[in-house]
Chains A and B, each alone.
Chain A
Amino acid sequence: MNGTGGEGDGPGDARWAFGTGFEDPLHGVAVEPPPGADGAAVARVCVALADDALVGAQRLAEWVTCAPELEIELALANVGLDLLGQARLLYARAGQVDGSGRGEDDFAYRRAAAEFRCLRLAELPRGDFAFTALRMLALSSARLAVLDGLRGAADPVLAAVAERGVTEVTYHRLFAAEWVVRLGDGTDVSRGRLGRAVEEAGPWLAEVWDDAVGAELGVAPGAVRAACAADWGRVAREAGVPLPVPVPVGGSGGRAGVHTAHLPVLLAELQGVARAHPGASW
C-alpha cells in the first residue's frame, strides 16, 4: 500500500518488479454500488472485516524470522498475505461506497485505534505458537461463516471478496485446526501450552462467536456461533483437550471501537513510517 496511488504500469516503472507504487486493487471495477445495496452498510462490513484481516496479518508477520520451523513460517506468512489481500480489496471498496473517497492507505495508516472495528482477539499480542494456532482457529471459523453468508451480497465486490475469501480462509482454518489437534494430542509441554492458550483466549471468544458483523447484509443470526461451535467441538474431540464454549457476554467491544491497550501499540508500529513520511513513495 502506498500513499501516492501511482499506476504501476507507467513507463517509468518498467525497471521495478512491482512498480514504484502499489496500484488500486479495484482498478476497473464499477465504483457505484448497485441499486438496492446500502452503501453505508456495505462500507461498515468491509471496514470491520478488513480491520480483522489487517491486524491479524500484522500479528502473523511477527512470526517471520522466528517461527518454530521454516515451513510454519511460510504458512503463517502466507496466511497473513491472504488476509492482507482481502483487507486491501475491502478497504478500497469501503472508500468507494461510503462516499468519502478514501483509499486503502487512509484506512490502514491514517485512523486511530478507536476508529478500528476489529475483534479484540485479533489484536492480542502474538503469544506462543499454541496461542497463534488457537486464535487462528477461532478467527478463521468465524470469518468463514461470515464470508460464506456474504457470498450472495448485493454488492458485487463484497460478494467476490467473500467468494474468493472462503477458499482462502478454509485453508487457514484447516492449518489451525490440524495444529491445535497436534498440540493437544502431543506432549505434556504442547498440551500445557495449548491449555494456557485456551485460558488466554477465553475471555475474548464470546465476542468472536457472537459477532453480528454481517447481520445487516443478511448473514443469518447465530450462523457464526453455530459454525464456531461445530468446529470447536470437532477439534476438541480430536485433540483430547476441552475447549470451553464461551458464554455470551453483553457490552461493546472491538466492533464498536472499544479495544485493548495492545491495539495502539500494534498500530504505532504498523503506521509509524507512513505517518512520519506522508505522501512518500517507495
Chain B
Amino acid sequence: MTAAEALAWRAAGGVPDPELPVVTVAELGMVRGVACDGAGGVVVRLAPTYAGCPAVAEIRADVAAALRGAGFARVEVETVWSPPWTSEWITEAGRRKLAAAGIAPPGAAPARGPVALTLSATRPAVPCPRCGARGTEEVSRSGGTLCTALWRCRACREPFAHLREV
C-alpha cells in the first residue's frame, strides 16, 4: 500500500457511521479497498451493510468529503455488493467500541448454506453490555435501526440495542 493509499484508507475509514456514530465505517468493515492513481485521484470501494440501509447515500457523501478534505482532487466511491457485508466484517476494535457504548456486538454469524427454519427460539446468548449478565432476552428483533435488535437484561433491567448477527 502506498503512502497515498494509507492516507486515503485513514480518511475514508475514519468516517463515523451516521446511525452508530461510536464506530467508523472501517470498524464496521464497510471499506473494502482503496486505489490511488498517483495523480491526486482515489477510488474507494464501499460495501453497504443492508440493501435497504437508508444511511448508504450519506455515508458515501461523508467518505467523499473526507477524501477531498485529505487533499485528493478526484474522488470516486464505488459500491460493492459482492461479497456481501456480514457482521463478521466488524473489527475487534469496532466490537469493543459498540459494547462500550451500550450496544451489544454481534456474536458468531449464523451458518451459511441451506436455510434452516428455527421455530423454537435459538437466540444467540447476548451478554448485557452494561452489567455483563448473561440472562438477557430479546424484546424485538427490529430496533431503532435496520441492523439492531432491542434486548433487555433480566439482571439490571436495562434495555439495550444489539447489533444483529447476519
Contact = CB atoms under 8 A, between A and B. Distances in A.
Interface string B87-126: 0000000000000000000000010001101110000000
B72 to A, nearest CB: 13
B151 to A, nearest CB: 12
B62 to A, nearest CB: 8
Interface stretch (A70-78, A187-195, A256-264): A70-78
A82 B52 CA distance: 5
Contact of A13 (B53, B61, B80, B144): B61
B146 interface: yes
B57 interface: yes
Point out which of B53, B84, B142 has the most chain A C-beta atoms below 10 A from its C-beta.
B142
B117 A231 contact: yes
B82 interface: yes
A71 B115 contact: no
A22 interface: yes
Nearest to A72: B140
Interface string A162-199: 01111110110111011001000000000000000000
B84 A9 contact: no
A28 B77 contact: yes
Given A75-B142, A82-B50, A167-B166, A25 B79 contact: yes
A81 B146 contact: yes
A46 interface: no
Interface in B26-50: 45, 50
A157 B81 contact: yes
B158 interface: no
Contacts, number: 129
Interface residues of A, number: 55
Contacts of A154: none
A211 interface: no
A84 B115 contact: no
A212 interface: no
Contacts of B56: 25
A266 interface: no
Interface string A71-97: 110110111011111101100000000
Interface in A1-47: 8-9, 13-14, 17-19, 22-23, 25-29
Contacts of B132: none
Contacts of A61: none
A26 B86 CA distance: 19
B51 A238 contact: no
B81 A164 contact: yes
Contacts of A78: 142, 146
B50 A168 contact: yes
Interface in B145-165: 146, 150, 164
Secondary structure at chain A's binding surface: helix, strand, loop or mixed? helix
Interface in A219-266: 230-231, 234-235, 238
B37 to A, nearest CB: 16
A247 B52 CA distance: 35
B82 A77 contact: no
A78 B51 CA distance: 12
Given A29-B81, A170-B115, A173-B117, A9 B142 contact: no
24 contacts: A8-B58, A8-B60, A9-B57, A9-B60, A9-B61, A9-B64, A13-B61, A19-B57, A27-B77, A74-B143, A74-B150, A77-B142, A82-B52, A82-B146, A85-B51, A85-B53, A148-B115, A164-B81, A168-B50, A170-B115, A171-B164, A174-B141, A181-B119, A231-B117
Interface of B: 18, 45, 50-54, 56-58, 60-61, 64-65, 76-86, 110, 114-115, 117-119, 139-144, 146, 150, 164, 166
- What 4 A-B pairs come out closest when comparing CB atoms? A85-B52, A28-B78, A85-B51, A71-B140
